[in-house]
Amino acid sequence: MTTNQTPKVGKPYTKWSEVQDEHFIYFIAEQVKLGRTQPGGLTTEGWDSVEKEMNKLYGDKLDKTKMKNRMRTLKKIYATMKRMSQHSGFGWNEETRKVDVEDDVWEQYLAVSYIYSYFFLDII
């Protein structure tokens, strides 16, 4: 996990790697298994535990706000990927862990939903 300076605002932001996301999701799933949930997400105790485990692994000081923001981002990505996977011509490549789609199918899809072009780039 790295902290970078944004050129516009000058506030540090956290860039998450795939492995960090995997750990984050794992720790959240563990809290769900322990029943530390409430409508809309984890309880304070659940978030405290996730924060503790993430900081133990990565040594960076992460607060609940950063983790909740990341969770919102991951939920949006998941919802988008799920919608995309329901269209004909889209598949999942287990080896690369990314959506597979032929260029012509992607072009047709973008003609209807240009907002999903974000996922064509390798920036998730």
**CA 42, CA 55: separation in Å to the nearest integer?**
18
pLDDT at 116: 58
End-to-end CA distance of the chain: give it in Å, rounded.
14
* pLDDT, tens digit, 9 for 90 and up, residues 69-111: 999 999 998 888 888 778 778 888 888 878 888 888 888 877 7
Residue 101 buriedness (CB in 10 A; 0-12 / 13-18 / 19+) = buried
Domain boundaries, the chain: 2-79, 87-124
* pLDDT, tens digit, 9 for 90 and up, residues 2-21: 555 444 555 677 788 889 99
Polymer length of the chain? 124
pLDDT at 2: 55
* pLDDT, tens digit, 9 for 90 and up, residues 31-61: 999 999 999 889 999 999 999 999 999 887 7
